[in-house]
Structure 1
Amino acid sequence: MNRTLFLLTAVVFTVAPVLGQEQGSIAFSRPGVADVRQQLGEWLTASGADKTVADAVNELWADSSQLNAMTGEETLDMLIQSFAKADAAAAKLLQESFGEVAPAAIIFDGIRARPLYQNQIELFRARWLVQHRHYDEALPVLEKLSPDDVVDPAGLLFYRALCQSELLKRREALETLSLLLVNTTDVPSRFRVVAEMLQKELIARKDDGMQHVASLMKDVNRRLDLGDSGKQTQGQEDEVIAALDKLLEELDQQNQQGGGGGGGGSGSQGSNQPSSQGMQDSAIKGGSATGEADRKELKETGRWGMADKQAEAKARELIRQKFPPNFLDQIGRYTRKIADKKK
């Protein structure tokens, strides 16, 4: 087999220091094109690829100036194309990546168990999963891979952070973003811009309250869009409703203690004490002892499950007063989505 185009460099994926950082800190760097070509040549030799396949792969990697200008993402794509010319499983994965159904996972045995092949294939498939919102399936793969393992360390960290953020793993996402923005070289500008915006949003995000409820509703909607109505989704549905109950009770207590909002006169006796009846009426769980019956009604009909229409109107008004205008719409879309799932 002709391997003249593959340079015989012994260096593999490296971690290099970054100027300006404290001594002892490290940065994840993309391997050089020569390193990748050399390892790819070794993989082709081990795979038993014939001369026709080797020549086709060599042609992809012939223009050094073009290769040196490629991003990490483009290098990853080039490797997958090269694997696809020599390996049927990689060819199938590449073809399936153009569709809307998740590409099937590859069994890594034999020549496919080599790190160059396995790590790039896993990153390529995980990238597709993230881009199509399959965060639960992608994250374990992305957390298992190290930036040292892949030709696109910036892409690995970027998509890992996105998964962690979407799955409400705020602290983990911030740690990954720090690695990306501080300890990684050659980060594409679009990744950096989005990562910096996401970092600011995560720093400001709270783990409870209205923001948490909105994030939970968003994730439940995503799961339902993907056809996932399993136990984890159902558990999050219950968590959303419980959180809404708590928010409404807290709002009602604030209104009762502050004398604000429609209700009893501000000078009425005992107005500084929260009304337990008011809290019960304005909670989504209504007057039921456990709330289970009314939560079932919310899931199956899309109604809020209030004790009466007046209580539901009061709850809606509390939300309009205290939260952003689109929050009530979010709750409405969420409850309709839950109801549609049950039909």
Structure 2
Amino acid sequence: MKHWFPSIQKKLFVERRLQRVSMIVCVCALSVSVFGQEPIPVPIPLKEPAVKKAEPVALLAAPSGVDLKLQLQSWVAEQKVKNPAQLKTIATLLVKLESPLTAEEKLTLALEVFSNVNPEAKQLIKDYQLSNLLPVLSSPPILSEGEADTIYLTNVRYYVARNLTQFRMVDHALTIFNTIKPDTLIDPAGYLFFKAACEHHLLQKEACEKTLDQLLNHTESVPERYTQVAVLMQADLETLKEESLDEISRKMSDVERRLDLGNSGEKVQKVEDDIIASLDKLIKKMEDQAKNSSSSGAGAGSSSSPNGGADESRVKGQIAPGEVDKKKLSNSGGWGQLPPKKQASAKNIINRNFPSHYRKAIEKYFKKLATQKANTNK
């Protein structure tokens, strides 16, 4: 009896378990038959991907006369000016800021204040003023050390870089422009305009487009003359293609500018090499097109035509496209010049395919280099 009872209990336990399982199965089957569909699982909420917001572009604006007066007064106080004559002169200048002035007029007044307080600024403003003589370049700490982020540094550097641009010293000007943080500029529109002019001349397309966008869309009170020229620069950059004859012509003009300014160092020679390589590629490309055109004409039975072929513009011993024979760029072989046969080939192709002003630009370029070479050998 005591062996039998546990077995009965175990059997009852198993039966109850089976009954519970059967009930669960019936309930599930009933839910499917009653509702006509399986239970819809509750979706787990997904985390939405973070959307990276574009960084807002700062809106630049010239300070009002009142704000600029307060900034200059604060700067003068920091310089601990105590001379009564100096303070009287400065006070006379600051009073003028209470009248309506353009950004350029405000800048001129601020530079006068700086000159009255700081001898270094006075000398620098004198050295880089616009005249018929090119300025003697120098690198004092005020122009070359660190970023310019104060009303004094930003505006003195802007004055120098702006005038260097008008002297056509765009390389030096752009170096200074790139150290300026425009938040404390008195003439931010002028800063962006002249900076864009440097980038445009040096064919820095991406940087120039960014600067022009800031000028036209995120700067207040831009003078109409700046706006008109900026729009023209934008349109010009849109049509400028890399290694086109237009770009080559501009690089040639830039070499002429550098030579006029007395620059004939490694940078100029690097541009020279780029021009020769680009011309070489262009000539090779056009010769290949002429050959293909001639071959297709010959295949159509026109090989006897006097107009077929491109032998008149073929350069014998042509090297691979884009490569430059360094021997022909040496001083002994005519620095920065194409050999006579390649010059003739280039002119022939350019005369047939491009407007006359490109031919004139290239002829002027070669004459300029020949003159420079002759002067160097004297």
TM-score range, shorter chain: 0.7 to 0.9
1:107 to 132, 141, 148: 141
Could you give the per-residue CA deviations for residues 222-267 of structure 1, whole angstroms, max 9, x where no partner exists? 111111111111011011011111111222222233249xxxxx93
Q: How does 1:253-268 map to 2 (within 5 A)?
A: 253-259=288-294, 267-268=302-303
Query: 2:105 maps to what in 1?
Result: 74
In 2, Cα distance between equivalents of 1:298 and 1:164: 35
Out of 143, 152, 162, the position equivalent to 2:187 is 152
Query: Could you say which residue in structure 1 is the equivalent of 2:84?
Result: 51
AA partner of residue 117 (structure 1): Y
Q: Which residue of 2 aligns with 1:305?
A: 339
Q: Which amino acid aligns with 1:60?
A: L
| Equivalent-residue separation in structure 2 for 1:46 and 1:259 (angstroms) | 78
The Cα shift of 1:174 comes to 0.5
Q: CA deviation at 1:24?
A: 5.7
Offset from partner CA, 1:133-189 (integer Å, 9 cap, x none): 111111122122122131111111111111111111011100110000000001111
Contact 1:103–1:125 (8 Å) recurs in 2: no
Alpha carbons of 1:290 and 1:274: their partners in 2 closer, same or farther (altered >3 Å)? farther
In structure 2, the partner of 1:243 is: 278
Q: Give the match for residue 37 of structure 2.
A: none
CA change 1:149–1:274 in 2 (3 A) is: farther
Of stretches 23-32 and 37-46 in structure 1, the one that deviates more from structure 2 is: 23-32
CA distance in 2, matches of 1:299, 1:224: 20
Pick the aligned partner of 1:225 from 260, 270, 278. 260
Distance 2:250 2:333 in 1: 18
Structure 1 match to 2:173: 138
Q: 1:206 aligns with which of 241, 248, 253?
A: 241
What's the TM-score once normalised by structure 2's chain length? Answer: 0.72
Say if 1:106 and 1:53 are closer, same or farther in 2 by CA, change over 3 A: farther
1:329 counterpart letter in structure 2: K
State the 1:93 CA deviation: 1.7
- Cα RMSD over matched residues? 3.4
Alignment of 1:253-332 (within 5 A): 253-259=288-294, 267-268=302-303, 279-281=314-316, 291-296=325-330, 300=334, 304-307=338-341, 312-332=343-363
**Equivalent in the alignment of 1:173:** 208
Residue 97 of structure 1, CA deviation: 2.6
Change (3 A) 1:301 1:339: farther
AA aligned to 1:85 is N
Residues 253, 279 of structure 1: 8 Å contact kept: no
Residues of 2 paired with 1:313 and 1:46: CA distance?
A: 67
Structure 2, gaps ≥5 residues long = 1-53, 296-300
Alignment of 1:92-103 (within 5 A): 92-98=123-129, 99=131, 100-102=134-136
Evaluate the alpha carbon distance shift between residue 315 and residue 121 of structure 1 in structure 2; reply closer, same or farther with a 3 A threshold. closer
Correspondence for 2:62: 30
Pair 257,120 (structure 1): closer, same or farther in 2 beyond 3 Å: same
**Hey, what's the Cα distance between the residues in 1 that align with 2:135 and 2:87?**
31
Say if 1:281 and 1:76 are closer, same or farther in 2 by CA, change over 3 A: farther
Distance 2:291 2:238 in 1: 32
Residues 57 and 298 (structure 1 numbering): CA distance in 2 closer, same or farther, change over 3 Å?
A: farther
- Which deviates more, 247-256 or 75-84? 247-256
Matched, 1:121 2:156: yes
State the Cα distance separating 1:129 from its structure 2 match.
1.1
Report the CA distance between 1:64 and its aligned residue.
4.6
Structure 2 distance, partners of 1:323, 1:250, is: 14
CA distance in 2, matches of 1:148, 1:130: 21
In structure 2, the residue matched to 1:85 is 116
Q: Could you give the per-residue CA deviations for residues 51-104 of structure 1, whole angstroms, max 9, x where no partner exists?
A: 2111112212223553x2x22222112111111112211211222233431464
Partner AA of 1:341 in structure 2: Q
Unaligned runs of 5+ in 1: 1-21, 261-265
Distance 1:106 1:297 in 2: 36
Inter-partner Cα distance in structure 2 for 1:212 and 1:329: 15
Equivalent residues, number? 306
User: C-alpha separation between the residues in 1 aligned to 2:56 and 2:344?
Assistant: 60
TM (normalized to structure 1)? 0.79
Percent identical among aligned pairs is: 27
CA distance in 1, matches of 2:198, 2:92: 36
Mapped contact 2:107–2:187 kept (Cα < 8 A): yes
CA distance 1:189–1:299, shift in 2 (3 Å): farther
Amino acid at match of 1:268: S
